[in-house]
Chain A
């Protein structure tokens, strides 16, 4: 954006967003992390890699749940698809890594479209159900039965030399690859968030009807966000398989989607920084306590679940909103929707015809009460409200 003139000549100064303004931050963090991983080795390099990879998973949630506002639990499916398809193509099919990558991404993107298409028509919770169902199907059918059959039931070995050169066999070189990939993707997503595309996504999130009435095609916008999110998860899956040096199905189990969601929520859904904080909190911080087993497993699960609930109730924007301010607060209060009821003819019985509207009733509270009264009288006959009303014959009680 830039300053511009209009009408009567006053300059319209808009706050400029330039990628160059955020690059120093991201590069700085990336460099610091790289230095850290170069100075340590073995175990800690592994930890840093894990943090980076799962920050990428959290980033995929940022796009689909933060920017677009949809609840998709299919991220493990996309991760697994990325990992397994790439592994099959490279380790078994002997395709060069970079040639296989676009094919894998197309597969992942198609899966994202499959999950995203219903998103256009479905309310939030139904999409959560559908995407979870997809994740389970992916785990049990696509991964176990289709992609991992015969010799590879327990996984496809996916050595780092699959990347094309033995250079990556070195722990630290691989770390460099992971960190730079994740950093680059974070910059891209941050830029997208402030781009016109980002504004369209937000507008569909905050008011799909309004966006459509302004000429925005909600289907296209939603699908594009799903595809971006899915590809991020797919890349994370590939990196994870390379980290573990094998691609199996257990690592991409559907229930983990819920854990990753909790991670993203706690970190902050609206900004890549939140993704990083989430990854650090869930995969980095526990490792800082040398008794690793303490915060693993079930205690960790309890903590992470309850933490996510606490964050959503108290500060829905997550940790990132603490750092970045109000702008990145999740929109807690849903716009006040009138329940969709067909307008009914008013009962003829003695209802007083128009009288001057009382001044007080124009304000929000009074209007709400009057609307509620009207709805309780006009509820569709099959509804519980109407049945109750006719049953008790009550006068509306304030």
Chain B
């Protein structure tokens, strides 16, 4: 049935949103900061990966090097050097800092790379049939990886000691310290995790989407909408929400009429819904400002 193919294709796209959203949600859970810089880091990592592969590096090596450089290095730089200095500042200042940081990273990307650089697909160019649609092996592998990551991270953050420590430090720094946790290090580690996920997301997703800044902005808004819908709570929920958005977009976009031209309204509307219902669905975790 055409609808099923449409929905499947939408789901394949939605998985991409979900993957980046997982990174955003994890970063939020471990640092209580919305990582606006995720998109910029993702792009930078993707282009670096692409350049290195073009230079002849084996893909795995390029991947690992990118993840270490931007994930670990970038995470430490962001969390340990920049964000730690504004820990006591008001929320507006902290958001402004991360926005400025995003600008800087985006600038570095533009400085170093031609933005039309094609990023090679990590998992190759073969294709697999799923139902009535054909997916490239890369698309398929990305979907599988996303599910594994989302589920794995959800479990990690709820069960494993390190995952709990990460969340505890983000929930209440002083109380976590009172429990004996090394808050500074744990927090830095949280940023490293978040940025590594962003870099990985970029490398996996870039071959499948356009590279120009406007498409990326729109993508980022969709990712934000998905994160918000998931309540910034559970990685697996973020992935599910992403898939749902992808399917909704495919279905409504293909239906003709008003929705087709104005399909870009959808993420924004969902964002409003998510922000409005968030406190209701996920509990009033944070009271209004002051």
> Which A residues have a C-beta under 8 Å from some C-beta of B?
65, 69-71, 73, 118, 121-126, 128-130, 132-134, 136-137, 139-141, 145, 206-210, 253-255, 258-259, 261-262, 265, 297-309, 312-313, 316, 330-335, 337, 339-340, 368-369, 371-373, 375-376, 379, 383-385, 387-389, 391-392, 394, 396-398
Task: Give min CB distance, B12 to chain A, whole Å.
Answer: 22
Closest to B225 in A: A133
CA distance A286 to B36 in the complex (A): 27
CA distance A220 to B108 in the complex (A): 42
A71 contacts which chain B residues (CB < 8 A)?
A: 91-92, 95-96
A371 contacts which chain B residues (CB < 8 A)?
A: 174
Contact A305 to B103, CB < 8 A, known contacts A128-B95, A130-B271, A391-B164: yes
> Which B residues have a C-beta under 8 Å from some C-beta of A?
33-34, 36, 82, 85-86, 88-97, 99-111, 157, 161, 163-168, 171-172, 174-181, 213-214, 217-218, 221, 224-225, 228, 261-262, 264-265, 267-268, 271-272, 275-276, 286-290
Contact B221 A136 (CB under 8 A): yes
Contact B264 A141 (CB under 8 A): yes
Contact A299 B111 (CB under 8 A): yes
DSSP majority for the B interface?
Answer: helix
A139 contacts which chain B residues (CB < 8 A)?
A: 214
B175 contacts which chain A residues (CB < 8 A)?
A: 372-373, 375-376, 379, 385
The residue from B34, B178, B264 contacting A376, defined by CB atoms under 8 A apart: B178
Contact A385 to B100, CB < 8 A, known contacts A301-B110, A376-B178: no
Contact A121 B288 (CB under 8 A): yes
Contact A312 B217 (CB under 8 A): no
Contact B264 A384 (CB under 8 A): no
A397 contacts which chain B residues (CB < 8 A)?
A: 178-180
6 contacts between A and B (CB under 8 A): A129-B271, A255-B214, A298-B110, A309-B104, A313-B85, A388-B181
Contact A330 B93 (CB under 8 A): yes
The residue from B161, B213, B275 contacting A388, defined by CB atoms under 8 A apart: B161
B93 contacts which chain A residues (CB < 8 A)?
A: 312, 316, 330, 332
B180 contacts which chain A residues (CB < 8 A)?
A: 394, 396-397
Task: Give min CB distance, B249 to chain A, whole Å.
Answer: 13
Contact A301 B106 (CB under 8 A): yes
| Among B99, B171, B262, B267, residue most surrounded by chain A Cβ atoms (within 10 Å) | B99
Contact A254 B217 (CB under 8 A): yes
Closest to B267 in A: A133
Task: Give min CB distance, A190 to chain B, whole Å.
Answer: 21
A254 contacts which chain B residues (CB < 8 A)?
A: 217
Contact A129 B224 (CB under 8 A): yes
